[in-house]
Amino acid sequence: MRLIIADDHALFRQGLRSLLTLEGIEVAAEVEDLASLDTAIAQTACDVVLLDLQMERWSMDRIADLARKTTVIVLTANESVEIGLTALRLGARAIVHKRFAIETLITALRAAGDGLVWMPPAIQAALVSRDGAAGTKLTRRESEIVRHVATGMRNAEVAARLALSESTVKTHLTNIFHKLGIRDRTELAHYAIRTGLATVQDR
């Protein structure tokens, strides 16, 4: 895994680089502002951007664009649940608070690398309390399919696991997307995590 650290505090970037290096994770670049981040992404092959929301300006409005280019993990001192939810909806794959231990960041990185979504317990609890009941819209079979798709399985793998044809899985997914108002598999993974159908430990 190669990543870029985008944060305007040099001491924080340097300390984080040292800790990540000890974990065998390569830091391809460090940047202190959004303009430098754009340049680094264009010039450096990276898997993940660790994005601070408050650099020289508020960077929330850049998440959607960045998420189309790479995996975005928000690393922030701001622990507002609403801000975390907004970042996730814009395409961030994880929200990690700066007060957390390095082990938590590593867990979030691994989850994102597996195609999952990671969030602090407070944000997950808020999501479950808001729409946890939405899971009742799905049949038992649909819930099984959602759980497997959320862990990164392809349609053929889900079909083999559940003894179904691949076309049947595709039909179920079409119905699931329609029921939940979801557009793609990434949004489905978000839904599965926040409703408890899948967790970052599932694989």
For 67-116, the pLDDT digits (tens) are 888 999 999 998 888 888 888 888 899 999 999 999 999 999 988 888 78
> Residue 104 corresponds to which tokens in the numbers above?
């938590």
Q: What mean pLDDT is predicted for residues 38-48?
A: 90
Highest mean pLDDT among 45-59, 64-78, 174-188: 64-78
**Cα angle: 172, vertex 174, 177; to 5 degrees:** 110
φ/ψ of 93, rounded to 5, equals -95, -10
pLDDT mean across residues, the chain = 86
Greater pLDDT, 123 or 92: 92
Buried b (16+ CB within 10 A) or exposed e, 71-100: bbbbbbeeeebebbbbbbebbbbbbbbeee
Q: Does 202 have pLDDT greater than 60?
A: no
99 CB contacts (<8 Å, ≥6 apart)? 77
Contact 79, 56 (CB under 8 A): no
- Of the pLDDT bands very low, low, confident and very high (cuts 50, 70, 90), residue 183 is confident
**CA-CA-CA-CA torsion for 57, 59, 61, 67, nearest 10 degrees?**
160
Say yes or no to pLDDT of 129 above 70: no
More confident residue, 81 or 193: 81
Q: What CATH number should be reported for the domain whose range is 2-119?
A: 3.40.50.2300
Tell me the mean pLDDT in the region 32-59: 89
- 131-195 shares the fold of 2-119: no
Least confident of 22-36, 41-55, 118-132, 146-160: 118-132
Burial 2-35 (b: 16+ CB within 10 A, else e): ebbbbbeeeebbeebbebbeeeebebbbbbbebe
Domain locations in the chain as residue ranges: 2-119, 131-195
**What CATH architecture is 131-195?**
Orthogonal Bundle (1.10)
Only one residue has tokens 């974990």, namely 23
At 22 the pLDDT is: 93
Best CA proximity match to 70, nearest among 5, 148, 155: 5
Residue type, 193: I
Residue 158 burial by Cβ neighbours in a 10 Å radius (0-12, 13-18, 19+): buried
Q: How confident is the model at residue 157 (pLDDT cuts 50, 70, 90)?
A: very high
Residue 172 has pLDDT above 80, yes or no: yes
Distance separating alpha carbons of residues 29 and 176, to the nearest angstrom:
40
Average pLDDT over residues 24-44: 92
Q: How far apart are CA 203 and CA 114, in angstroms?
A: 8
